[in-house]
Structure 1
Amino acid sequence: MLRSIDHFIGGSSFASGERQAEVFDPNQGQAQAQVRLGTAADLQKAVDAAKAAQPAWAATNPQRRARVMFKFKELVEAHMDELAELLSSEHGKVLADSRGDVQRGLEVIEYACGIPQALKGEYTLGAGPGIDVYSARQPLGIGAGITPFNFPAMIPMWMFGMAIAAGNAFVLKPSERDPSVPIRLAELMTEAGLPDGILNVVHGDKEMVDAILDHPDIAAVSFVGSSDIAQYIYSRGTSNGKRVQAFGGAKNHGIVMPDADLDQVVNDLTGAAFGSAGERCMALPVVVPVGDKTADALREKLIPAIEALRVGVSTDPEAHYGPVVSAAHRQRIEHYIQMCIDEGGELVVDGRGFALQGHEEGFFIGPTFFDHVKPSFKSYQDEIFGPVLQMVRAADFDEAVRLPSEHDYGNGVAIFTRNGHAAREFTARVNVGMVGINVPIPVPVSYHSFGGWKRSGFGDIGQYGQEGLRFWTKTKVVTQRWPDGSTTGENAFVIPTMG
C-alpha cells in the first residue's frame, strides 16, 4: 500500500480529499506515494486556521518573528541531508542539486531574519508647522503561494519566508508531483516556534488553484510555473481584487562573443543547459555564438563535453543529472526533439532512447544538442524544459542582442566576453529582466530580487528582497500634529499645505 501525503493545516496533518494523485520515483518509474487532492472545503479549513492565527502573529514584534526564522534556518540546515534525499526521490535531480535547491531557499530565509530592519519605515520631522509624517509597512493578512515541481524547496521558501516574516499567515499549494518537502518544511517551521495556522499546506490541482484565486480572504497570490498558467492566474486573481505576481516560462540565451574563453563557456553551458535535466526556468537552453568562426570552434569543444556527461540516478555522486520528473514530461521533450529535426535543425547529439542499466523504467533522457536552429522554429520559440541545447548562430553583435530581446520570454540572459564595453552595451540594450555577464545562471542573491519580463512575468513586483517585502505588505502613511492649544486662525475649509 502506498503511503499517503496529507495536507498540513493548523499545525498538524489533515487527511481529507477523496481524489488522489500518484507521486512517482523518477529513478524507478514507479509510484511511491499518493497525495490527496483537496477541495474548496479543505482550503476553507486552512483559511480559517490562518485567519484565527494571523492577528496575533502580526501583533508579535518583528524581532520575535525573526527569532522563529533564525530557528527555522538552523533546523533546515540540521535536516539538509534528509530534505535533499526526500527531494531527489520525488523530483529526480541529483543530491548535490537538491542541496542547492534547499540552500538557495535558505538564503531568502536568511534575508527574512533581518525583518526588523527591512520593515522600518520613513519619518520626516517638521514636514509642516508642527507636523510630522511617517510611514509603516503592515501585513496584508493571508497570502498564498502556488509553486512548481522543479524547485519544491527553494520557491516555497522564497514565498512564505518573506510573507510570514512580514506578519502574514500563508497557504501554500505545492506541486502534486513532489509534495513531501513542502510538508516537511511546514513541520520544521512549527518546530521552530511558528504558531499553528500561520503556515498551512494544501494539495490539489486546478480545483484547488481556482479556489485560492477566488477566496475573498486571500489578499495576495504568488505563482511560479508555465506562462499560460501564469497569465491565467494573474488575470483571474487580479479580477478578484487580489495582488498577484505570476512568473512563467523562459527561453534563456547565452551569447558567446568571439573573445570569450571557450573552455569556460563550455563548462558553464553544460551545467546551465543540462543541470537538473534542464528543468529550470533559469536554464540556458539556447547558445548564440557571434560569427561562424566562433560557432564552429564552440561546437567542436561542446560535442565531446556533452557526450561525456553522465546521466544517473539521483544518488549517484558521479552523475551530472538524473531523470526528468515524469514519463509524460519525457515524452514531451522527445516530441520537441523530433519537432526541431522536422523544422530543419541539425541534430548533433541525440539523447532519445537513453536507458540506465538496472533502472530501465526510470524517466531518463540523454543530453541533446542541435546546431543551425532558426528563430522561426517553434522548438526555439517554446520552452522545452529538458536537457536540450539549441545553437542559433548570430552574424554580429546586433543580431545577438536582437534574438533574446525579440523572444516572447524575457526571464534571463547571459553574455560571455572579455570586453567590458560589449558587456555594458549588451546589458543596456537587451530586453530581458535578469542579465549575467560571464554568469550562466543569473539568479540574483536574496537581498536583490528575482523577476523576468514579457511572458516570463506578470505583475510588476519581483520575488524576495525589498521587492518581496513590498509585495507582502501595504504602506500606511501617517501625518500627525499635536496642537499646543493656541488658536492659529487658519481657514479649515482650505486644503492644508505644508508651506
Structure 2
Amino acid sequence: MTLAPTETRTISHWATGAGFAGSSDRTASVTNPATGAVTGAVALASATDAKAVIDAAAAAFPAWRDTSLAKRTSVLFAFRELLNARKHELAEIITAEHGKVISDAIGEISRGQEVVEFACGIAHLLKGGMTENASTKVDVASLRQPLGPVAIISPFNFPAMVPMWFFPIAIAAGNTVVLKPSEKDPSAAIWMAKLWAEAGLPDGVFNVLQGDKVAVDELLTNRTIKAISFVGSTPIAQYVYSTGTAHGKRVQALGGAKNHAIVLPDADLDLAADAMVNAGFGSAGERCMAISALVAVGDIADELVAKIAQRTAGLKVGDGTRNTDMGPLVTQAHRDKVASYVDAGEADGATIVVDGRGVAVDGDNSGFWLGPTLIDHVTTDMSVYTDEIFGPVLSVVRVETYDEAIDLVNSGPFGNGTAIFTNDGGAARRFQNEIEVGMVGINVPIPVPTAYYSFGGWKNSLFGDTHAHGMEGVHFFTRGKVVTTRWLDPSHGGINLGFPENN
C-alpha cells in the first residue's frame, strides 16, 4: 500500500514472532527523501525494551541450536524462495525510506540474497574434522558450534543488503539474532522479520530492535549478547568495537572509507569515465564502496575530466519511483552537510566542473536533492579530499607518476576499497601487491566480493580480525570445539599417575 503524503504509521520492534510496541514513548520521524514528507514514526527503545527483545532471542536459542542442520537449511531455502518472489515489495520500501532508485534497491537485495544462498550450504560449511587413532585407541574430532544470541547494527545506506551480510549465516549456524536497523529507514527490517516467520523460522530466532544509542549501548553491554556485527562510520565503529570487546563480546566493526581509483595513462579512458560515473554517483554516493577520489596519473586528467562531465550531464536526478538514474540523499541534514563540502572545496580553490547544488530534478521540490558533483584540481589538504563525504561528490586529484598515486592511497587512514584502470598487466599486478587496502578492483570500480569470499577493509575501515560473510563469516558466528574420545575395551585398565603421552 502506498501511503498518502499526510498518512503516517508506527514502526515498532519485532520479538517472539510478532510486533512489539515496547514501553518507551520516544519516537523518531521517518521521511520519504524524495518528497520530504513524514511517513512514519519509529519506536526508540528504552533499555527495558532492548532487554525484552534480547531476552526473546535468548529464550529461543537452546531449541534453535539443537534443531537439525537439515531443518535449518530447509528454512533458509524457504526464505530464499520467498525473497526471490517478493523482492520488488522490499525494493519499494527501501526506495520510500532511503531514496535510492528502484533498480538500485533491487540490486541491493540481490547482492544480499547471494549470502542467503551461500548460507543454504551451511551443512557443508560447518563440517568438522576427525582423526581416528590419534593416540592409541584415542580419536580426536573438531566441531563448530553456535555462539548464542548475536546482534547486528546496520546503517541506513543498505537497509536490506548489509543485514543480509550477517543474519543468514548467523541463523543457519544455529544462533539467534537481534537486528538493530537505522532509525532513518527501519521498515525493511520488519518486512524481513515477517518473511522469516512465513518461511517457518521459529519465534524468537530473528528479532528487530528499533532505536538509537540507548538500544545500541544495551546490545554492547548486555551479557546475553555474544557477538556484534556493525557497519557504519569510523568513529562509531571504534566505539562499538571498544565497548563491545570490553564487555567480553566478539566484535566485527566495519567503518568508513575514502576509496580511490587510480587511472593510468594507458587506460581506456571511456571505460574509466563510465566507471567513475557509476561508482561515484550510484545510490547518490551513499555507498561505503563508492569511488570518491579519482587519481589521474600523467597528462590524461583534462581529457578524462571532460569525458566524466559529459556523461554526468546526461544523468537524470529525481524520485526513485520514476525513470531516474539517481535519487535524493537520505535526510535534509545529510544533504546540507554534503553540500557544505562542495562549498568548502570551492572556497579552497578547487574547480567545480559539475555543480549538483542547484540540480533540476524530476520530483518534489521538497526532496533532499543534491545532484552529481565533479570537482577538479583537488589537493590533499582540502576537506573535500580528507573527509568521508558519503554523497555524490567525485574529487579529482592530479599526480605525475604511478608511485605518487600509490603513496597517496597508502598514506590515507582508510583501507576499504580501491581500483586501478590500466591495460598494463604488470602495473596491475604490482598494484594489487603493494596497495594497503582490503578490497581491490582491476578495471572494476566497485570491487565488492561475491558471497563466498569475505567483505572487509584494512586500517580504520575495520575494527576486529574477521571480515563479513564467506568463510570468515562462518567462523565469526561459530566457535571451535575439539573432542578427544577413548572408549575402553577389556584390554585397558590399571592405574597410571604419569602425564599422558601421545604414543
TM-score, normalization: structure 2?
0.96
Paired with 1:484 and 1:168, the residues of 2 have a C-alpha distance of: 38
Pair 1:438 & 2:443 matched = yes
Aligned with residue 365 of structure 2, among 339, 357, 360: 360
Q: Cα deviation per residue 1:367-389 (whole Å; 9 max; x = unaligned)?
A: 11111111222221110000000
Q: Cα deviation per residue 1:300-322 (whole Å; 9 max; x = unaligned)?
A: 211111122111110122x1110
The CA deviation at 1:402 is 1.3
Pair 1:182 & 2:189 matched = yes
Pair 1:250 & 2:254 matched = no
**2:3 maps to what in 1?**
none
Contact 2:319 2:362 in 1 (8 A): no
Paired with 2:215 and 2:319, the residues of 1 have a C-alpha distance of: 32
Q: What amino acid maps onto 2:480 in structure 1?
A: T
Paired with 1:100 and 1:380, the residues of 2 have a C-alpha distance of: 29
SS of structure 1 residue aligned to 2:291 = coil
Q: Cα deviation per residue 1:216-270 (whole Å; 9 max; x = unaligned)?
A: 1000000000000000000000000000010011110111111111111111110
RMSD: 1.3
Contact 2:318 2:362 in 1 (8 A): no
The CA deviation at 1:354 is 2.5
Q: What amino acid maps onto 2:89 in structure 1?
A: E
Q: Cα deviation per residue 1:189-214 (whole Å; 9 max; x = unaligned)?
A: 01000000000001000111001101
Mean Cα displacement is larger for which, 410-419 or 124-133?
124-133
Paired with 1:406 and 1:490, the residues of 2 have a C-alpha distance of: 64
Pair 1:22 & 2:29 matched = yes
The CA deviation at 1:483 is 3.0
Unmatched tracts of structure 2, length 5 or more: 1-6
Q: What amino acid maps onto 2:340 in structure 1?
A: H
Paired with 1:498 and 1:260, the residues of 2 have a C-alpha distance of: 60
Aligned ranges for residues 34-49 of structure 1 at < 5 Å?
34-49=41-56
Paired with 2:443 and 2:363, the residues of 1 have a C-alpha distance of: 39
**1:50 maps to what in 2?**
57
Residues 150 and 491 of structure 1, relative CA distance in 2, 3 Å threshold: same
Pair 1:459 & 2:460 matched = no
The CA deviation at 1:357 is 5.5
**2:501 maps to what in 1?**
497
Contact 1:355 1:365 in 2 (8 A): no
**1:303 maps to what in 2?**
309
Paired with 2:44 and 2:230, the residues of 1 have a C-alpha distance of: 18
The CA deviation at 1:391 is 0.6
Residues 377 and 485 of structure 1, relative CA distance in 2, 3 Å threshold: farther
Aligned with residue 7 of structure 1, among 2, 13, 17: 13
The CA deviation at 1:344 is 2.5
**2:379 maps to what in 1?**
374
Pair 1:322 & 2:327 matched = yes
The CA deviation at 1:491 is 4.9
Contact 1:347 1:371 in 2 (8 A): yes
**2:142 maps to what in 1?**
135
Contact 2:316 2:362 in 1 (8 A): no
Moved over 3 A (4+): 487-492
The CA deviation at 1:356 is 2.6
**1:69 maps to what in 2?**
76
Paired with 1:446 and 1:357, the residues of 2 have a C-alpha distance of: 35
The CA deviation at 1:14 is 1.0
Q: Cα deviation per residue 1:58-88 (whole Å; 9 max; x = unaligned)?
A: 1111121011010001111111111111110
The CA deviation at 1:489 is 7.5
**2:431 maps to what in 1?**
426
**1:390 maps to what in 2?**
395
SS of structure 1 residue aligned to 2:482 = strand
Aligned with residue 266 of structure 2, among 250, 259, 265: 259
**2:348 maps to what in 1?**
343
SS of structure 1 residue aligned to 2:444 = coil
